[in-house]
Amino acid sequence: MLRKNDIIELNITSLTSDGDGVGRAGELVFFVPNTAVGDVIDARVLKIKKNVGFAKVESIVTPSPDRIEPDCPVAHSCGGCVYRHISYEAELNAKRQKVFDAVTRIGKLDGALVKDIIPSKNIDGYRNKAMIPIGLDRNGGVVMGFYARHSHNIMHCPSCRLSPDVFNEIAGDVYEFFRTRPELIYTSQNRSGVRHLYLRYAEAADRVMVCFVAGKRGFDGDSELYDSLTEKYPSIASIVINVNPDDTNVILGKRTYTVYGDGVITDTLCGLRFDIAPEAFYQVNRTQAERLYDKARSYAALTGGEVLLDLYCGAGTIGLSMAKDCRELVGVEIIPQAVENAKKNADRNGIGNARFICGDASQAAVQLKGEGIRPDVIVVDPPRKGLTPELIGTIVSMAPDRVVYVSCDPATLARDLKLFTEQDYSVEEITPVDMFPRTAHVESVVMMSRNDI
Ligand code: SAH
């Protein structure tokens, strides 16, 4: 009988979808973070539940050939990167495998449909968005950085290799400002202080938006901080304060006030210019988003005469990047500020054949069907939880020739593809895309077509 704190030798033979190594000890399957396929390790048992166990590396007996030296001081404790200790090639293989496993096991699809993964051009500094929590440690000291894996404890590390240099410099200065002012930090008691530094970067124009998320609209010394930041960083285009006094896990509150600049940033993607409000979703890896959209565009195979429906459209980016190739574009998105962005983005790019609806995708699809809209192509790009069975039913009943599914979660994607294949659609191709190097996340884009065409 194995117990907590026992040391066991494990051969790591595969990785879970979260990036943990898997090794067997008799009947038990152990999960061990920060390991690589091919490692032989001495592991310390942390917990055993029925036939699975959790362990951590005590020492590496024989390192996997995939191993590289992690180049970040918090690589093993931060919840962001899980693949900083293996080569990028090994990481890409693991991510393709994650998509392959989901679509074959959950989706019951032929694994040959899964094409090569599209690697990211940049594997560091690629994020154009950072949400950096600020809080107090046990001793009341100010900490700013990243949540530890599977927890809400903040690891102090204001700089991150996935962020551009300008984020790390601004975050360092913001930390210096708050370091000596713990009374300005949000706690569940005061509900007023600062809780997150949220940064966005419009790479093409080299413009930064700085957002402070706080329990109330201002804090002592705020204008002094804003002035020193805008003086030091000419690339800061906007500073906004988002008010969130609620004790929840949701980062952004409902109200945002602009304190400097115009409160939006504008980026260029696929040759178009997009305004992005702080509340609107925007792809975090811009260069890679262009590759993702290129693939989605080739799957949509538009010829100029089609009606295109873009569900979960955010600020309209996917649909607008295809608008010139179709007759009519309808986008649906639930966040009002993103819909406002989408409408303005159509205008500013001279796109006259697009309209946008603010609402839930499942309900809007029913409404559009009722209006007699018959899309030839539907693009969906839902959040991690995927589509509802009702929406899949409505899409099928609208009978588009092709459905392009962009997904950030292989498991819900596979679940949804199974429903489509049970209702008149076939999966033609699945391309994994690495949007988030070093993290466990992998994006996929899928082409489906109606069986009777
Ligand atoms: N296609 C966009 C956005 C994808 S992210 C892009 O590539 O940038 C998913 C989007 O779905 C987010 O903008 C989110 O606000 C939106 N969303 C979430 N739930 C929704 C729902 N029930 N109905 C419509 N949109 C929703």
Sheet containing 354-358: order of strands: 354-358, 328-333, 307-311, 377-380, 402-407, 443-450, 425-433
Distance CA 118, CA 271 (A): 21
Cβ atoms of residues 274 and 345 within 8 Å: yes
* Percent of all residues in the chain with a pLDDT value above 90, rounded to a whole number: 93
Going by alpha carbons, the residue nearest to atom 21 of ligand 1 is 360
Instruction: For residue 251, give the nearest of 286, 279, 218 by alpha carbon.
Output: 279
Average pLDDT over residues 35-45: 98
- 241-252 per-position pLDDT tens digit: 999 999 988 999
Written as six digits, the tokens of 208 are: 């930064």
Distance CA 432, CA 444 (A): 4
Going by alpha carbons, the residue nearest to atom 6 of ligand 1 is 314
- 49-87 per-position pLDDT tens digit: 988 999 999 999 999 999 999 999 888 888 889 999 999
338 CB less than 6 Å from ligand 1?
A: yes
pLDDT at 149: 80
219 CB less than 6 Å from ligand 1?
A: no
pLDDT at 79: 80
- Per-residue pLDDT at 160 exceeds 90: yes
pLDDT at 415: 98
- Per-residue pLDDT at 437 exceeds 90: yes
Distance CA 35, CA 240 (A): 41
328 CB less than 6 Å from ligand 1?
A: no
Strand, helix or coil for residue 55: strand
Q: Which residue has the higher pLDDT, 419 or 205?
A: 419
Cβ neighbours of residue 343 closer than 8 Å, sequence gap 6 or more = 316, 356
- 309-332 per-position pLDDT tens digit: 999 999 999 999 999 999 999 999
- 283-310 per-position pLDDT tens digit: 999 999 999 999 999 999 999 999 999 9
Going by alpha carbons, the residue nearest to atom 1 of ligand 1 is 313
Cβ atoms of residues 380 and 406 within 8 Å: yes
pTM over 0.85: yes
Cβ atoms of residues 359 and 387 within 8 Å: no
β-strands 28-32, 52-62: how paired?
Answer: parallel
383 CB less than 6 Å from ligand 1?
A: yes
Ligand 1 centroid to residue 282 C-alpha, Å: 10
Q: State the average pLDDT for the chain.
A: 96
240 CB less than 6 Å from ligand 1?
A: no
Ligand 1 centroid to residue 383 C-alpha, Å: 6
pLDDT at 452: 92
* Percent of all residues in the chain with a pLDDT value above 70, rounded to a whole number: 100
Model confidence at 376, in pLDDT bands (50, 70, 90)? Answer: very high
Ligand 1 centroid to residue 371 C-alpha, Å: 22
Cβ atoms of residues 450 and 399 within 8 Å: yes
Model confidence at 144, in pLDDT bands (50, 70, 90)? Answer: very high
Q: Could you count the other beta carbons within 10 Å of the beta carbon of residue 166?
A: 16
Cβ neighbours of residue 157 closer than 8 Å, sequence gap 6 or more = 73, 74, 78, 145, 146
pLDDT at 28: 95
Written as six digits, the tokens of 352 are: 């006259």
321 CB less than 6 Å from ligand 1?
A: no
pLDDT at 74: 87
- In the residue annotation, 72 being an active-site residue is answered as no
pLDDT at 76: 82
Model confidence at 151, in pLDDT bands (50, 70, 90)? Answer: confident
pLDDT at 391: 98
- Per-residue pLDDT at 441 exceeds 90: yes
